[in-house]
Structure 1
């Protein structure tokens, strides 16, 4: 890590802008190790030959539930200072709702502007609507596993403060702000509110872009592990897991509804 991170300041910036960047949150060697594991997983013929109901890969771009594949991905869930920052935003009983790896080849990109879920606060789209202290219900933590230092490599782009617009994309001339490219080195991490307008810019370079995305939600936000009600953690995923990690993966105690 280049320097200690100001987590209080990062939390404030996240709520204000709808995203925050933590430079060098993972060591470059750790990011490179994860990148190699992603590529090995993608090149495994059994991944692509698996029954579609196993939901291992989507569209030759997204590799699903990486914590099932290797403990190195599982360990990212509780890596510091990231886990503490996530809990400061979502609360101490939050959990992981998805963890996927994106492998964007030259010419590819998730280029449509979008939010990651339903529109939570449509009442903000109106004159005089309050815009302070709006809670975050879900966020995506994106770890750059390869260098995305220039526009040609297809960085994630966000519209600052669009999470407070009460609107969803598509992109239009009356955007609530100017788009910003989140340029990053391997090991840099950025957190994006699920309501923030964002996209992956087209990869116009000759190299593949790698990103590990772990989405977290408040306790009442359901986990998105297909086939949902029928999903079971594979044996071994919780082996040696701390209580905190087990909770992030969904092992909650009794609560208000059961």
Structure 2
């Protein structure tokens, strides 16, 4: 990994924003050319899904997409994003979950009276871990490939500052007070804490919404989908291998050695202050 990536490290202002609101929006993370290339690949995946029987009026949820194309692998340790991820979570991380979503127009009339599917990520974690507030554990980075700079385009909705709230009142009619649509342009990356209350919405526009989601969490968390990224390890750099779940042995997820976490080794050399943190066991 080139040390030039350190110029994209998490700033104190970004840390404050993420800690206080539960999310962070960064524009122009992907160039127009990069967006076009990724869009072409995603369109191919969507068309294949439709040819295999997917209903073209419904959203395509496609997990485990990293093996589908080398361009997806490149984003796993993308220089403009990964430094901000380790700035929030630390170095003992990997990609525990990924999915892309293509949301075509439905042709349905607008209906804000029906509540959206509000949730925090991680399912049973939210019922079975005894703590308040719930632990962060992971975050997602969403790369937006289509223009959803206006509402009604299948935007994902969030309740800012809700990530430290374990329970939230979801009305039977209408939406949660304070909820807002995430309105962004192509090439934008949105980071959000897994605890942030959020929901998908219907695409009432004539624009197809396309998003890539990369979920980063601590290495001792199990994958959330049936990821087959092990087949890519031989073509990966050491840090990419860590981010795709490689490990010397099972104990290395809990008490990592240098061989388990080459990201920490790299940080010791190039950014020593970032190689420390809460998890400092070296053996």
TM-score, with length taken from structure 2: 0.72
> How far has the Cα of 1:222 moved from its partner?
1.1
Secondary structure of the residue aligned to 1:164 is coil
Q: Does 1:71 align with 2:70?
A: yes
Contact 2:59 2:101 in 1 (8 A): no
Structure 1 residue 60 displacement after superposition: 5.3
1:1-258 alignment runs, 5 A limit: 7-8=10-11, 9-44=13-48, 48=52, 61-107=60-106, 111-118=116-123, 119=126, 123-124=131-132, 136-167=136-167, 170-171=170-171, 178-226=178-226, 232-233=228-229, 235=231, 237-254=232-249, 255=252, 256=254
Cα distance between partner residues in 1 of 2:151 and 2:50:
34
Structure 1 residue runs without a partner (length 5+): 50-58, 125-130
Larger Rg: 2
Between the aligned partners of 1:241 and 1:191, the Cα distance in structure 2 is 24
Residues in 2 aligned to 1:73 and 1:137: alpha-carbon distance in whole angstroms: 23
Equivalent-residue separation in structure 2 for 1:151 and 1:48 (angstroms): 31
Contact 2:169 2:176 in 1 (8 A): no
CA distance in 2, matches of 1:220, 1:108: 43
Deviations 1:24-70 (A, max 9, x none): 11112212211110110121269837xxxxxxxxx751112111100
C-alpha distance in structure 1 between counterparts of 2:117 and 2:165, whole Å: 18
1:54 corresponds to: none
Deviations along 1:165-201, whole A, 9 cap, x unmatched? Answer: 121564579x996112211111101011111111122
- Indicate the residue corresponding to 2:267 in structure 1: none
Q: Please give the alpha-carbon distance, in whole angstroms, between the structure 2 residues aligned to 1:142 and 1:75.
A: 15
- Which whole-Å CA distance do the structure 2 matches of 1:171 and 1:60 have between them? 24
| Distance in 2 separating the partners of 1:207 and 1:76 | 25
Residues 1:93 and 1:141: Cα distance change in structure 2 (over 3 Å): same
Say how many residue pairs are matched. 233
Change (3 A) 1:204 1:74: same
| CA 1:192–1:171: 2 relative to 1, 3 Å | farther
Tell me: CA distance 1:111–1:196, structure 2 relative to 1, closer, same or farther (3 Å): same
The CA distance in 2 between the partners of 1:143 and 1:159, in whole Å, is 19
Task: Show structure 2 runs of 5+ residues with no match.
Answer: 1-6, 109-114, 257-283
- Following TM superposition, by how much is the alpha carbon of 1:150 offset from its aligned partner in structure 2, in angstroms? 0.3
CA RMSD of aligned residues (A): 3.1
Relative to structure 1, the CA distance from residue 183 to residue 144 in structure 2 (aligned partners, 3 Å threshold; closer, same or farther) is same
Instruction: Report the CA distance shift for 1:162/1:42 in structure 2 as closer, same or farther (over 3 A).
Output: same
* Secondary structure, aligned partner of 1:251: coil
**CA spacing shift, 1:45–1:182, aligned 2, 3 Å:** closer
